[in-house]
Amino acid sequence: MTRLLHLDASPRPGRAGTHEHGSLSRRLSHHFIEHWKAARPDDPVTRRDLGARPPSLLTVDWIEAAFTPTESRSARMAAALAESDTLVDEVIAADVLVLGVPLYNFSYPAAFKAWIDQIVRLERTVSFDAENTEEPFVPLLADRPRHAVILASRGGHGQSAGGPMAHMNFLEDSVRTAMTFMGIEQVHEVAIEYQEEGGERLWRSIRDALAEVESLVARLQSAGDECAAA
């Protein structure tokens, strides 16, 4: 059984192609989940809509609590970390993180950054070894294979790695950095482009991205089956 965590960061509530003014990144993430569940209906999915309900921003109380040893935290400190603990628990439980994230102004929306800030937690998802001067940060989510799937949408084009406008896209690299920092080494990317232009090139980008999602689902499910049989 594979556990999935399905997140959407777009503030657009609907899906492109289904709802007026719907989100392309939501269309990709829902397509991933629907395609996965068609083949593996019993695999559980935890759903969190960051666009509709953004996580809280970090506060001084949060920082004080997070950097206080667990055994020394007051009830007030525990309360300050309660939301973060829930979000971290969801990530730890997941085998595949499905991340629907639009590109806004060179990176991801603020709601997604708030989620990243809530889950990159000392002694929960990463540890610090002061004795190791070369690599002091120790990822804690490398205990088993996990995958992160970044399903992005972009207004422009040519912003994938190696593209002429890649220097203006900090979304995927930033998400990958956060994932690998915590120990999630297997990160996959699919994106739709040409949203601002529309027309035929947008249609082809959507078609190709949906096909990529289906291919990725098949590969991940096959890899999971092989690991289970080993």
Question: Binding residue per annotation — 155?
Answer: yes
Question: Is 25 annotated as a binding-site member?
Answer: yes
CA gap 189, 148 in Å, rounded = 9
Residue 24 annotated as binding? yes
Answer yes or no: is 162 a known binding residue.
no
Known binder of ligand: residue 205?
Answer: no
User: H helices within the chain, ranges in order?
Assistant: 24-39, 60-66, 75-80, 82-93, 110-119, 171-182, 199-229
DSSP 117-181: HHH--BTTTEEE-TT-SS--EEESS-SS--EEEEEEE-SSSS-STTSTTGGG--HHHHHHHHHHH
Pick from 95, 112, 84, 105: nearest CA to 175: 112
pLDDT in tens, 178-220: 999 999 999 999 999 988 888 899 999 999 999 999 999 999 9
Annotation-wise, does 74 bind a ligand? no
Nearest CA among 113, 187, 116, 153 for reference residue 31: 153
Whether the full predicted model's pTM is greater than 0.85, yes or no, is yes
Identity of residue 97: L
User: Cβ distance 116 to 51 under 8 Å?
Assistant: no
Print pLDDT tens along the chain (230 aa).
999 999 999 999 889 878 878 899 999 999 999 999 999 999 999 999 999 999 999 999 999 999 999 999 999 999 999 999 999 999 999 999 999 999 999 899 999 999 999 999 999 999 988 788 788 899 999 999 999 999 999 988 988 888 888 898 899 999 999 999 999 999 999 999 988 888 899 999 999 999 999 999 999 999 876 555 54
Is residue 125 within 8 A of residue 119, CB to CB? The reply is: yes
Residue 215 assigned to a binding site: no
Task: Sketch the domain layout of the chain as residue ranges.
Answer: 4-229
Q: Which pLDDT tens digit goes with each residue over 78-103?
A: 999 999 999 999 999 999 999 999 99
Q: Give the pLDDT confidence score for residue 227 in this predicted structure.
A: 57
Res 156: pLDDT: 86
Residue 39's pLDDT is: 96
For residues 40 and 45, give the distance between their C-alpha atoms in angstroms, rounded to a whole number: 11
d(CA 223, CA 194): 32
29 is in an annotated binding site: no
Q: Distance (Å, rounded) from C-alpha 44 to C-alpha 37?
A: 9
Q: CATH number of 4-229: 3.40.50.300, 3.40.630.30, 2.40.50.100, 3.40.50.360?
A: 3.40.50.360
What element of type H or E holds 49?
strand 45-49
